[in-house]
Structure 1
Amino acid sequence: MRFSVLIFLITSCYCDVDFSERPRNFSVELLYHTQKAIGGHVVISPFGIWTLMTGLAVGATGDSFEQIRIAFILPRSLKTVVAGYKGLTNSVLKRASDGVSLTSKNFVFADDDLFLKPGFKQTVTKDFDATIKVLDFKDSNDAAAKANNFILNSGARVTNVLFSEDFEQSRMILTNVISFKGLWTSPFNASDTTVEDFYNENKEVMGKVKMMQQKGEFPLTNIVALKSFVCELTYGTDEAYSMLVILPHPGVKVEDVYKILENITIPDIIARLQQDINDYGLDEVEIKLPRFKISTNIVMNRPLNDMGVYDIFDPAYASFSRATNESIYVSSIVHKADIEVSEAGTVASAVSAAVLSNRFGATRLVADRPFLYFIIERSTATVIFAGIYSKPSLY
């Protein structure tokens, strides 16, 4: 009999406040497949999903491991995977930054009669800093209550993560909870926020937004090859984290920018912004950005299928023999994420030859049409949160 493993990833991002290539390289692809599955307007945590899938890879074998490895560009050696994970998470999560709070916590909830191999338990607890909690899954209501209480008491700012039905057919539940809270280095003045129109790519009014605005010295460039204007807004006093806002040129669709992002990477964009600063310095520019709040709740099975991950979801083919001798598979990977962006902040490689920059005309960025955004740790260019804003609302 094959038993299922349920995977949960909970993320939140609140406004008020050579291995490192892995999570940033697949981030755009993951965002593309996720938005395709739910129709645009979305927020996800590529870093959180990468964290969860890397932990899952530690217990997988055969094609189950190989498919995860290829999709998430992991090394073949398990020892290298673990070492790389520890090094990158230390860089991304352990940065002391005044005005920014970023936490990521991993949990493994196991049924009380499921035997987990000692090596797997040691790896997830020691190397992935995960907490293993044994519960009686047969009493699903009690198991859900205890799991939620355990997550809440760990300091995670989320409630009601798991439900009784999640435990009914499962033997093990892996959960990652990641949250980001960042204050803008240069906050917007709430008194300057005005209600304005928001348009689609055809210049048709879609609705109204509360548009934040300010003038200041911000990195802003016009990347011709990307068909977009790009601005970087930093968080905290040491500017270790930032939001990249990618606004397609008038008449250009977000989907068109996706295709180009296959060849122009996030590090390329960061390098271009820095090159402009080196060449021209920082000029005063005008920034207009909607206040917004987005929540996403999606089963990631289909996006991961589109990225080539199949076997872990199939009872006949899933192989997790590094974790247990029992036949288990992943029934679903559930991703829940929120982001809030307001006047105070956000509560949640070498430059390619194809990247051509034209600074002329990049004196203002008015995000009054669909745009992409990426919250990154700047030293590694790791994408922590990513999303698309395409459905206006008065938040």
Structure 2
Amino acid sequence: MWHDDPKVECKDWRAAGSHDGNGTSLFILSVLLCLLFNQEKFTMMMRAAVGLWVLSVVICVGRGHHHPNHLGHGNDKAGQDTVVNGSASSVSLVNEVNQEFSFRLYRQLAAHADSQGKNIFFSPASVSTALAALSVGAQGETHRQLFSGLGFNSSLLTQTDVDQVFQTFLQRANNTSQEDGSEGTAVFVDNGFKPKPEFLQTLKQSYLADGFNVDFTNTTESADTINKYVEEKTNGKIDQLVENLDESTVMYLISYIYYKGKWETPFDPKLTKQDDFNVDENTKVPVLMMNLEDSFKTYHDHDLNTTVLQLPFNSSYSMLLMLPDVMATLENAIGPKHVTKWLKAMMRPRVLDVYIPKFSIKTSYNLKDVLSEMGMTDMFGDRANLRGISEEESLQVSQVVHQATLDVDEAGATAAAATGIDIASNSVVPVLKFNRPFMVIITERNTEKILFLGKIINPTI
């Protein structure tokens, strides 16, 4: 089932095919897992693409000298009597857990020193998928930490339950129209490394993984192989995700999300004009402001002193833009219950004159410290127990890198521009102007699955 040519194997392995699109305003998410012999020795690079949402997570797993631990998947059997009954219940539970994980991870990123004064943008769905796939090969305390860090209760959910739910998520994403895009994973295995067949089978069945054999001792050629695969899955927009590889690399696992979205009501580019964005009380930067006067659903959360605007895509997805009076008040308190309340309590559409900056941002994170602070520590050191991947090799995670770009334009992201003044025949149209720091969520309206989450404090960086 393994081939050297990604183009051949992609068609053979996937339970559900990806949907490559040809339009603009794309979401792209890529997650990368790699197995290494030693410490992290490679860097990742991603080019931003105009009109794209791009996200990648890189997890590098290397051979280490950990102490053997022969416990199973977090003592799954101990919790069998209380396992959630029914696939629908498991899906609902994992979805709720993933939503909680989204905001816990956001707060860890926001509090990190490297994030101060910078935009934040990432995909919680991507990170949780990558870590869930990794947990397939984890055992003992390492598995317990992964489950706990993700928020899974092992007395309610076994590894099999989680695998089946992520299979449902991925199949559902790939069964939507081409307008929505696709999600998937891929695993690249060194010719001399033999993972357990059951590990690969679970990745194939539950995480829809494409599989390839490569020669990681030829670092240039193997990096090119991975980059060509990523380039194909991202419709040519990311052509050099991996800059170089170490000869000790034994495995790469990539997961990606490709999304093509168009606004239900597009913005008129003729109304886009230069305006000021207030980064803080003392700093203003020039931006191109898009403008649209139309009927919008909004909600004002008095507890958080935040105005929420819903911008629907021409699909089941929406973007929520949150404009707080004080950013810290919003980002320290926001959680899944707020998203649920906002979506349910959105008042009937009313006419607003909306201004939103047209922008492209790029973010990059090394999540090793962040995930360690969330309790997932053992997988990064000698205590790592990844014997579900291989009994013969001593493996460990060496780094986790998360990269993203976000592009917003008139056709498929956000709308705003003009002067902020609306003249109506007999009434004053309220103005909602996102000309200061705001938060953003991309969510599926029915399931409330959070695809993307972030904060824009300066759309020019």
Amino acid at match of 1:335: H
Q: 1:15 to 1:231 in 2, by over 3 A?
A: farther
CA shift for structure 1 position 363: 4.1
CA shift for structure 1 position 337: 1.2
State the match for 2:303 in structure 1.
225
Please, which of 328, 334, 344 is the counterpart of residue 261 of structure 1?
A: 334
Amino acid at match of 2:376: V
- Rounded to whole Å, the distance in 2 between the matches of 1:363 and 1:89 is 41
State the match for 1:351 in structure 2.
none
- Rounded to whole Å, the distance in 2 between the matches of 1:21 and 1:91 is 17
How large is the RMSD of aligned CA atoms in angstroms?
Answer: 2.7
CA shift for structure 1 position 168: 2.8
| Residues 173 and 183, structure 2, Cα contact 8 Å, conserved in 1 | no
Could you say which structure has the greater relative contact order, defined with CA pairs below 8 angstroms and 6 or more residues apart? 1
State the match for 1:206 in structure 2.
284
- TM-score after normalising by structure 2: 0.73
State the match for 2:3 in structure 1.
none
Amino acid at match of 1:42: I
- Rounded to whole Å, the distance in 2 between the matches of 1:291 and 1:327 is 48
Gaps in structure 2 of 5+ consecutive residues: 1-35, 54-91, 415-427
| Residues 5 and 173, structure 1, Cα contact 8 Å, conserved in 2 | no
| Residues 218 and 282, structure 1, Cα contact 8 Å, conserved in 2 | yes
- Rounded to whole Å, the distance in 1 between the matches of 2:127 and 2:47 is 10
| Residues 226 and 264, structure 1, Cα contact 8 Å, conserved in 2 | no
Amino acid at match of 2:172: S
Q: Does the alignment pair 1:79 with 2:160?
A: yes
State the match for 2:172 in structure 1.
91
| Residues 16 and 342, structure 1, Cα contact 8 Å, conserved in 2 | no
CA shift for structure 1 position 26: 1.4
Q: Please state whether the residue corresponding to 2:177 is helix, strand or coil.
A: coil
State the match for 1:302 in structure 2.
369
- Rounded to whole Å, the distance in 1 between the matches of 2:224 and 2:263 is 36
| Residues 304 and 330, structure 2, Cα contact 8 Å, conserved in 1 | yes
Amino acid at match of 2:107: Y
CA shift for structure 1 position 89: 2.8
Q: Does the alignment pair 1:34 with 2:109?
A: yes
What are the equivalent positions in structure 2 for 1:336-351 lying under 5 Å apart? 336-346=403-413
Q: Please state whether the residue corresponding to 2:362 is helix, strand or coil.
A: strand
Amino acid at match of 2:138: A
Paired residues in the alignment total 364
- Rounded to whole Å, the distance in 2 between the matches of 1:12 and 1:23 is 27
* 1:220-245 deviation line (CA, Å, top 9, x unaligned): 11111122100010111xx3011000
| Residues 274 and 287, structure 2, Cα contact 8 Å, conserved in 1 | yes
* 1:39-79 deviation line (CA, Å, top 9, x unaligned): 23122111111111111111111121111111212352011
Q: Does the alignment pair 1:196 with 2:278?
A: no
- Rounded to whole Å, the distance in 2 between the matches of 1:12 and 1:222 is 34
* 1:122-168 deviation line (CA, Å, top 9, x unaligned): 0001111111212111111111112222333456542111232x333
Q: 1:362 to 1:12 in 2, by over 3 A?
A: farther
- Rounded to whole Å, the distance in 2 between the matches of 1:362 and 1:309 is 50
Q: 1:153 to 1:209 in 2, by over 3 A?
A: closer
- Rounded to whole Å, the distance in 2 between the matches of 1:10 and 1:108 is 19
- Rounded to whole Å, the distance in 2 between the matches of 1:9 and 1:175 is 15
* 1:319-343 deviation line (CA, Å, top 9, x unaligned): 1111111110111112121110001
Amino acid at match of 2:115: I
- Rounded to whole Å, the distance in 2 between the matches of 1:5 and 1:126 is 30
| Residues 180 and 259, structure 2, Cα contact 8 Å, conserved in 1 | yes
CA shift for structure 1 position 377: 1.5
Q: Please state whether the residue corresponding to 1:333 is helix, strand or coil.
A: strand
| Residues 188 and 343, structure 1, Cα contact 8 Å, conserved in 2 | yes
- Rounded to whole Å, the distance in 2 between the matches of 1:362 and 1:303 is 44
Q: 1:221 to 1:337 in 2, by over 3 A?
A: same
State the match for 1:241 in structure 2.
317
Q: Does the alignment pair 1:376 with 2:443?
A: yes
CA shift for structure 1 position 257: 1.0
- Rounded to whole Å, the distance in 1 between the matches of 2:264 and 2:125 is 23
| Residues 92 and 382, structure 1, Cα contact 8 Å, conserved in 2 | no
Amino acid at match of 1:268: K
CA shift for structure 1 position 193: 1.1
Q: 1:198 to 1:154 in 2, by over 3 A?
A: closer
| Residues 101 and 180, structure 1, Cα contact 8 Å, conserved in 2 | yes
- Rounded to whole Å, the distance in 1 between the matches of 2:379 and 2:269 is 48
Please, which of 389, 392, 407 is the counterpart of residue 323 of structure 1?
A: 389
- Rounded to whole Å, the distance in 2 between the matches of 1:44 and 1:80 is 26
My pick for the range that moved more, 224-233 or 105-114, is: 105-114
My pick for the range that moved more, 33-42 or 221-230, is: 33-42
- Rounded to whole Å, the distance in 1 between the matches of 2:137 and 2:48 is 27
- Rounded to whole Å, the distance in 2 between the matches of 1:156 and 1:328 is 33
* 1:158-197 deviation line (CA, Å, top 9, x unaligned): 2111232x33332212222223221110111111111111
| Residues 15 and 340, structure 1, Cα contact 8 Å, conserved in 2 | yes
Q: Which has the higher strand share?
A: 1
Q: Does the alignment pair 1:51 with 2:129?
A: yes
State the match for 1:171 in structure 2.
250
Amino acid at match of 2:252: I
Q: Please state whether the residue corresponding to 2:99 is helix, strand or coil.
A: helix
Bigger radius of gyration among the two:
2
Q: 1:151 to 1:15 in 2, by over 3 A?
A: closer
- Rounded to whole Å, the distance in 1 between the matches of 2:360 and 2:444 is 21
State the match for 1:293 in structure 2.
360
- Rounded to whole Å, the distance in 2 between the matches of 1:226 and 1:88 is 31
- Rounded to whole Å, the distance in 2 between the matches of 1:67 and 1:11 is 33
- Rounded to whole Å, the distance in 2 between the matches of 1:376 and 1:13 is 22
Q: 1:11 to 1:381 in 2, by over 3 A?
A: farther
Q: 1:345 to 1:84 in 2, by over 3 A?
A: same
CA shift for structure 1 position 392: 3.6
